[in-house]
Amino acid sequence: MSEIFSPKQRYELWLRIELTVSEGWAELGEIPGSVLERLRQARVDPDHIARLEERVGHDVVAFLDSLADSIGGEDARYLHRGLTSSDVLDTALALQLVQAADILLKDVDRLSSVIRRRAVEERGTLMAGRTHGIHAEPLSFGFVLAGWLGGFWSGMEKTTFFLMIAAIARWPLALVHRNPIRAALLSYLFLLVLAVYDLWSTRKVHRATLWAGAFLIFVQQVRIPIGKTAAWHAFASWAQSLAR
């Protein structure tokens, strides 16, 4: 997990994004093939980038300057064509979140398998129920484990759900790319699929799906008009100035 969010891995993802975009420009004939081959030879140097960032005060500028030093400025001018810093940063973050979620979900899946097995094995193991620190009606340890299992499933649903916007908004499809309304509609479709899965697997829509879905719809409906106001732009500019 620490490797996924390390500076080196972040810069490697930035380079991967830059090269992917450059390959697209090459297919359109905007970048010579020989230049593309030299761009692929670029290497990231986290220490060099950190030193440059101290001087220029901008992480992406420092990153691009470092790449230019590694391959030569003449070829490096083809990098970052048609991109903004957010295109690179947001896409890389989405990739990091997916990689991190894969680790978490695999670990939770393995743990859930153990708890599921133990819940069946301990279904007849009696134990004292507890309420406010005193014994309550007896129950089985298997029942307690089954409750834990439900919590794990709920957490897995939430993790998968909250990754949707980050992944969908950066899909390289003309239908949704840089179009928040269409991206939101597509996320609603995923929400519908999740609700159908709940009905199929548990015969009811899980409350995590209901609350998370309602929250997503509310945020999507509010953020678009708010994002167009002068007050929001003033706040965003102020926040960016603090980050720099």
DSSP string, the chain: -TTTTSHHHHHHHHHHHHHHHHHHHHHTTSS-HHHHHHHTT----HHHHHHHHHHHS-HHHHHHHHHHHHH-HHHHTTTTTT--HHHHHHHHHHHHHHHHHHHHHHHHHHHHHHHHHHHHHTTT-EEEEEETTEEEEEEEHHHHHHHHHHHHHHHHHHHHHHTHHHHHHT-S-TTTTT-HHHHHHHHHHHHHHHHHHHHHHHSS--HHHHHHHHHHHHHHHHHHHHTTSHHHHHHHHHHHHHH-
Domain of residue 235: give its range.
Answer: 163-244
At residue 168, the pLDDT reads 56
At residue 65, the pLDDT reads 92
Q: Quote the CA–CA distance of 70 and 42 in Å, as a whole number.
A: 6
In a domain, 144, yes or no: yes
In a domain, 69, yes or no: yes
In a domain, 1, yes or no: no
Q: What is the pLDDT of residues 196-226, one digit of tens each?
A: 888 887 788 888 788 888 887 887 778 767 8
118 and 147, same domain (yes or no):
yes
In a domain, 211, yes or no: yes
Q: Which residue has the higher pLDDT, 243 or 43?
A: 43
Domain boundary among 137, 155, 173: 155
At residue 237, the pLDDT reads 73
User: Residue 168 corresponds to which tokens in the numbers above?
Assistant: 């969908």
127 and 170, same domain (yes or no):
no
Are 152 and 110 spatial neighbours (Cβ–Cβ below 8 Å)? no
Q: Quote the CA–CA distance of 18 and 143 in Å, as a whole number.
A: 52
Domain boundary among 99, 124, 155: 155
67 and 77, same domain (yes or no):
yes
In a domain, 54, yes or no: yes
Indicate which CATH number applies to the domain containing 78: 1.10.275.10
Comparing C-alpha atoms, which of 39, 50, 55, 43 is closest to residue 7?
50
Asked if residue 8 has pLDDT above 90, the reply is: yes
pTM of the model: 0.60
Q: Which residue has the higher pLDDT, 9 or 243?
A: 9
At residue 223, the pLDDT reads 73
25 and 35, same domain (yes or no):
yes
91 and 117, same domain (yes or no):
yes
* Total domains in the fold of the chain: 3
170 and 237, same domain (yes or no):
yes
In a domain, 2, yes or no: no
Are 92 and 10 spatial neighbours (Cβ–Cβ below 8 Å)? yes
Q: What is the pLDDT of residues 21-62, one digit of tens each?
A: 999 999 889 888 888 999 999 999 999 999 999 999 999 999
Comparing C-alpha atoms, which of 110, 118, 126, 124 is closest to residue 147?
118
**Mean pLDDT computed over 54-74:** 90
205 and 144, same domain (yes or no):
no
Measured from the Cβ of residue 11, the count of other Cβ atoms closer than 10 Å reads 21
User: Residue 196 corresponds to which tokens in the numbers above?
Assistant: 């159908």
Per-chain mean pLDDT for the chain: 83
In a domain, 172, yes or no: yes
Reported confidence tier of residue 72, pLDDT bands at 50, 70, 90: confident
Asked if residue 228 has pLDDT above 80, the reply is: no
At residue 173, the pLDDT reads 55
Domain boundary among 101, 136, 155: 155
Reported confidence tier of residue 6, pLDDT bands at 50, 70, 90: very high
Q: What is the pLDDT of residues 158-206, one digit of tens each?
A: 666 666 655 555 555 555 555 666 777 777 888 888 888 888 877 888 8
67 and 91, same domain (yes or no):
no
At residue 79, the pLDDT reads 92
Phi/psi of residue 130, each to 5°? Answer: -130, 140
233 and 168, same domain (yes or no):
yes
In a domain, 205, yes or no: yes
Q: Is 84 left (phi over 0), alpha (psi -120 to 50) or beta?
A: beta
Asked if residue 157 has pLDDT above 60, the reply is: yes
